[in-house]
Amino acid sequence: MIKALTDRFVAGVRCDTRDNFFDTHARGLVLRVGPRRKTWYFTYRRAGAPRWLRLSDYPALSLADARTCALNERHRLDVDGVDPIAARRAAQAAEEQAEQTRAGSAAAKIFTFADFIPVFVKFQAGCKKTWRDDAAMIERYLREPWGSLPLATITRTQVHEVLDAAIGAGLGVGVNRLQALISRIFTVALDRSLIAAHPAARMIKRAKERPRDRVLTDDELRALCKSLDAQPGAASDALRLRLLLGQRGAETVEMRWAEVDVDAATWLLPSVRTKNQRAHVVALPAMARDIVKARRRIVANDEPRVFPNLSISSEEYRALSPIAAGAYEWTDLRRTVATRLAELGFNETIIGRVLNHARYGVTGKHYNQHVYLGEIRQALSAWDAELTRILASKPRARSRVVAMRPRR
């Protein structure tokens, strides 16, 4: 069955017999549902015959991650000319040969969790764009307690101990991200036959998640900009751009000079750097353009990035967290831009184009290729003017609406 898969459908679908659901969003991605298991596959044709590459089971591999893996396999097949199944068999053969070599040694080394970290990180780098965040979380929460332990001996109790320690150290709803990462680690290890059982399977989430609805007030916007003025640097400039343009944090801090046209006042995000894998053109209003020009004067000409060596997990970036004092998060800047644009009269279609949200429906995905640059420029220029007014503490101009005369 061909279907636009959703998280709700994938979680709830049940079948007495084995059925296949072909995703319309990622070509070749299939969810095979049986009486006891749901499994992701990537299907393609080679020499006229269909081939099925097993990715992983659900829920160990989410819908979003499954789509990313399918798109990566499609790229390897269509662009690199690599047969995914043949490549996996070759890698397994090489791994088995290496394992036999290690086993044949009299002083064979025990495969520890620390040994598995580079293997897992390399696997994540080929499946998702935020693999660096996973690597940082492993270093922060998992290497010290598990690094020296044999991978196959880590128990469910030890997983609970790590999660309890993270909560005790102040980690809030982010403990769910840590738990998902741990589950993913052991799913990959199980898939590679490095462990016999999954110690984190079907583990109940620790924190209850609620959709955020936080929007910064005028006073908070003024306080934020004043604090950024007091701590100048790359991280402060990147946060200002997030506030001015409403783009995602990682996409902003990784901005490259090759993507920016200062004269045309545009920033072109290539598809390989966007969450929905669609190229996105962002207009640069006055304040954003001034920030980019200022960065150009202080960044070396041979440096490809506007914010060299900066990431959303770097020390310089995290050092600005006390500005929010826990009242809001940096991800709330994007929601603030969207809400303020709505207050200025822009509809959801234009706001969605500004934020580069995923497009749904056949028309939006495949036929309407208009980039909406003019509309995006108008919207962000209006927000630029509104933020300028807010920072100057000027009252908002009254709307000059002429009342309609009653009909006689």
If DSSP states are collapsed to H, E and C, what string results for 81-139?
Answer: CCCHHHHHHHHHHHHHHHHHHHHHCCCCCCCEHHHHHHHHHHHHHCCCCCHHHHHHHHH
Looking at residue 381, what is its pLDDT?
92
Backbone angles phi, psi at 39, to 5 degrees: -130, 140
Higher pLDDT, 164 or 329: 164
More confident residue, 102 or 53: 53
Nearest CA-CA partner of 379 in 283, 289, 267: 283
| pLDDT of res. 372 | 79
Do the Cβ atoms of 74 and 56 come closer than 8 Å? no
Q: What is the pLDDT averaged over residues 78-88? A: 84
Own/partner pairs, 268-276, CB within 8 angstroms, 24+ separation = 269/356, 273/129, 274/356, 275/129, 275/248, 275/251, 275/356, 275/358, 276/356, 276/357, 276/358, 276/359
The mean pLDDT of 62-81, rounded to a whole number, is 87
Of 29-43, 325-339, 348-362, which range is least confident? 348-362
As a whole number, mean pLDDT of residues 179-188 equals: 94
Task: Examine the pLDDT at 397 and tell me if it is beyond 80.
Answer: no
Q: Are 276 and 357 in contact (CB under 8 A)?
A: yes
For residue 64, the cross-strand partners are none
Q: What CA–CA distance (Å, rounded) separates 319 from 273? A: 25
Amino acid at 103: A
264-321 per-position pLDDT tens digit: 989 888 888 888 778 888 989 999 999 999 999 999 988 999 998 888 778 888 888 8
Nearest Cα residue to 244 out of 273, 224, 269, 268? 224
Conformational region of residue 386, where left means phi above 0, alpha means psi within -120 to 50, and beta covers everything else: alpha
Q: How many CB atoms lie within 10 A of CB 250?
A: 16
What pLDDT does residue 106 have?
A: 38
Q: For position 104, what pLDDT does the model report?
A: 58
pLDDT of residue 349: 85
pLDDT in tens, 205-224: 887 766 677 888 888 899 99
Residue 216: other Cβ atoms inside 10 A: 22
C-beta of residue 344 within 8 angstroms of C-beta of residue 382: yes
Contact 394, 385 (CB under 8 A): no
Contact between 121 and 131 under an 8 Å Cβ cutoff? The reply is yes
Segment 223-239, tens digit of pLDDT = 999 999 888 988 899 99
Averaged pLDDT, 339-353: 89
Q: Over the chain, what is the mean pLDDT? A: 85
End-to-end CA distance of the chain: 61
- Omega into 59 within 30° of 0, i.e. cis? yes
Check pLDDT > 50 for residue 404.
Answer: no
What is the spatial distance between Cα 4 and Cα 22, in angstroms, rounded to a whole number? 8
With 70 as the cut, is the pLDDT of residue 402 above it?
no
pLDDT score, position 79: 82
Q: Picking from 25-34, 154-163, 252-261, 391-400, which range would have the lowest pLDDT averaged per residue?
A: 391-400
Closest CA to 257 of 284, 294, 297, 292: 292
The pLDDT assigned to 49 comes to 86
- Give per-residue pLDDT as tens, 87-122: 888 888 888 887 776 665 534 468 999 999 999 999
Amino acid symbol at 379: A
Residue 204: CB partners within 8 Å, gap ≥ 6? Answer: none
Q: Please check the confidence at residue 337 and state whether its pLDDT lies above 80.
A: yes
Whether 54 has a pLDDT exceeding 60, the answer reads yes
pTM: 0.54
Q: Residue 22 — very low, low, confident or very high, per pLDDT cuts 50/70/90?
A: very high
- 58 pLDDT higher than 90: yes
pLDDT of residue 370: 63
Residue 84: which region, alpha, beta or left (left: phi > 0; alpha: psi -120 to 50)?
A: alpha
